[in-house]
A and B are shown apart, each in its own frame.
Chain A
Amino acid sequence: MDYAWNWAIFPAPSADGTGSYLSLLLSGLGWTLATAALSWGLALPLGMLLGILRTLPQRGPRLACDAYAELFRNIPLIVQMFLWYVVLPELLPEPAGTWLKRLPNAAFATAVLSLGRYTAARVSEQVRAGIESLPRGQRQAGIALGLSPAQVHASVLLPNALRIVLPALASEFLNNTKNTSVAMTIGLMELTARARSMQEYSFQVFEAFAAATLLYLAVNAVDVRAMALAERRLALPGLSRPRGDGHAF
């Protein structure tokens, strides 16, 4: 292979004239982090709420939340982003569509909302499964003590279910961060998009994607660490299995 390695490319000024290639990548990293944080901030509370509603005896809310989860979980994320970003403005009446297209940061907002809704559907599935995995007697014991069904959910079922699904939620958190790269398809200049433009400007494809890879690894290493800490903080005396160094992944 005839490839001219050039690791000194990073401090060189980028062809778009906004700064060095390194600062180009870092600005991409900034958008990646912002998209990941905001979409997770939407997905976690929404997914928990939906997951809880899916375990209630009331049929109406349960079916509605089941439908939400199936819809948003089963359509590929990239299709969802296209639908919201490209198709929705065309379906709306002319003025509303134009207004939507001219919003500042439309790609960013669409990415956050699409990813948040998608991850929320997946989180709701974890939370539902966690609650349903608890022995039936736990609910009965709470009810027998005179607690209301809502109190049983809040004080007994949820704290135990969340401990059970914490490792699965940690994986969802990592997936959510990695899935931000899909937003490059609707024009968000996040890390992967920036690595591609660096490749196009400089032809140093290996350096560009090596840097992007390391940055993704570094971000998710922090995520993993944070989740491992949370798991250890929430471990119950007498129940938690000791695990060598506390790393799950």
Chain B
Amino acid sequence: MSRPLSGDRPAIERDAVSKSYGSFAVLKGCTTQVARGEVVVVCGPSGSGKSTLIKTVNALEPVQSGTIRVNGLQVAPRRLRARTGMVFQHFELFPHLSVLGNLCLAQQKVLGRSAAGAERTARALLERVGLAAQAEKHPAQLSGGQQQRVAIARALAMNPEVMLFDEPTSALDPEMVGELLDVMAELARDGMTMMVVTHEMGFARKVADRVIFMDQGEIVEDAPCAAFFETPRSERARALLSRILHH
């Protein structure tokens, strides 16, 4: 998908972002940025704050301090969300709507597109994720992998400038992981800016430009992909890599 590149500010900038639930700090002063067209994989042990990290980008999780800018603008949450697409671990398709209805709802209600226009966009995107034939079905009639591809198409229908993925393959049967990663890799090739929380290190290695490694609410390592896998600087990252890669 081609987008006009406006200026050369990073797509996502976050400066000293902190968040806590009561006295428990989930994010401790996280500073990082994601350049336009860059694919950043966020990994780390569970409970390390990776999901929270990306959910603060579109303000699904409010933060106590720090700033987050998308395309250089610190915008109100609702406008911000319309520019960032999000894919959830458990798909979160709307069960009462058909696949087409899932893709059209926000296009019409948020972007004000006509029913016909929204449907045209929806069908083109379904074609792109290989599900054109399933447009009239309901989510419960699809496999997990198909549902997650619909979820990606639903997010893309809003013409986002950034796509956020929160463990998109964790709820899938192993044989469906591949088809989903293919769709994501293609999206990355087309130049989409992506932040992906995942344990799929093979995907990270092939597709990511950078890897952010988190532990206990802190960004422990933020390195170019090759450097992260070949010469991880932190002990904790080395431990995680040896656990994941040698299984």
Q: Which A82-113 residues have C-beta < 8 A from chain B? A: none
| Chain B residue at minimal CB-CB distance from A234 | B96
Q: Given A138-B92, A236-B96, A151 and B140 touching (CB < 8 A)?
A: no
How far apart are the CA atoms of A143 and B58 in the complex, in Å? 10
Q: Which A110-168 residues have C-beta < 8 A from chain B? A: 135, 137-138, 140-148, 151, 155-156, 159-160, 163
- Across the interface, A137 reaches (CB within 8 A) one of B82, B92, B96, namely B92
- Across the interface, B95 reaches (CB within 8 A) one of A140, A148, A151, A239, namely A239
A145 touches B81 (CB 8 A): yes
Q: Contact size class for B? A: 20 to 34
B140 touches A144 (CB 8 A): no
A76 interface residue (CB < 8 Å to B): no
How far apart are the CA atoms of A135 and B137 in the complex, in Å? 21
Q: Given A160-B96, A239-B140, A144 and B109 touching (CB < 8 A)?
A: no
B86 interface residue (CB < 8 Å to A): yes
A244 interface residue (CB < 8 Å to B): no
Q: Given A135-B92, A145-B106, A146-B81, A140 and B138 touching (CB < 8 A)?
A: no
How far apart are the CA atoms of A39 and B114 in the complex, in Å? 40
A141 touches B92 (CB 8 A): yes
Residues of A within 8 A of B94 (CB): 138, 141-142, 155-156, 160
- Across the interface, B81 reaches (CB within 8 A) one of A143, A156, A238, A239, namely A143
Residues of A within 8 A of B115 (CB): none
- Across the interface, B96 reaches (CB within 8 A) one of A144, A147, A159, namely A159
CB distance from A79 to the nearest CB of B (A): 40
Consensus secondary structure, chain A interface: helix
Q: Which B131-175 residues have C-beta < 8 A from chain A? A: 137-142, 154-155, 158
- Across the interface, A239 reaches (CB within 8 A) one of B58, B88, B92, B138, namely B138
B88 touches A137 (CB 8 A): yes
CB distance from B94 to the nearest CB of A (A): 5
B73 interface residue (CB < 8 Å to A): no
A155 touches B60 (CB 8 A): no
B78 interface residue (CB < 8 Å to A): yes
A60 interface residue (CB < 8 Å to B): no
How far apart are the CA atoms of A12 and B84 in the complex, in Å? 77
Residues of B within 8 A of A148 (CB): 78
B240 interface residue (CB < 8 Å to A): no
CB distance from B55 to the nearest CB of A (A): 8
How far apart are the CA atoms of A142 and B79 in the complex, in Å? 14
CB distance from A129 to the nearest CB of B (A): 18
A144 touches B81 (CB 8 A): yes
CB distance from B182 to the nearest CB of A (A): 23
Most buried by A among B82, B92, B93, B158: B92
CB distance from A48 to the nearest CB of B (A): 16
B110 interface residue (CB < 8 Å to A): yes
A237 touches B60 (CB 8 A): no
How far apart are the CA atoms of A151 and B109 in the complex, in Å? 8
Q: Given A159-B96, A160-B94, A236-B95, A147 and B140 touching (CB < 8 A)?
A: no
Q: Which B2-22 residues have C-beta < 8 A from chain A? A: none
How far apart are the CA atoms of A148 and B82 in the complex, in Å? 11
B60 touches A147 (CB 8 A): no
| Chain A residue at minimal CB-CB distance from B81 | A146
Residues of A within 8 A of B84 (CB): 144
| Chain B residue at minimal CB-CB distance from A239 | B140
CB distance from A160 to the nearest CB of B (A): 5
How far apart are the CA atoms of A163 and B82 in the complex, in Å? 29
Q: What is the interface of chain A, defined by CB distance below 8 A to chain B?
A: 135, 137-138, 140-148, 151, 155-156, 159-160, 163, 236-239
Given contacts A138-B92, A144-B84, A147-B105, 16 further A-B contacts (CB under 8 A): A137-B92, A141-B94, A145-B82, A145-B106, A145-B110, A146-B81, A146-B82, A146-B110, A147-B106, A156-B105, A160-B96, A236-B140, A237-B137, A237-B141, A238-B138, A239-B138
**Top 5 A-B pairs, shortest CB-CB distance:** A238-B140, A146-B82, A141-B92, A238-B141, A145-B106
Listed A/B pairs (14) with beta-carbon separation below 8 Å = A137-B92, A138-B92, A138-B94, A141-B86, A141-B88, A144-B58, A144-B88, A144-B155, A146-B81, A147-B109, A155-B109, A159-B96, A160-B96, A236-B95
Q: What is the interface of chain B, defined by CB distance below 8 A to chain A?
A: 58, 60, 78-79, 81-82, 84-86, 88, 90, 92-96, 105-106, 109-111, 137-142, 154-155, 158
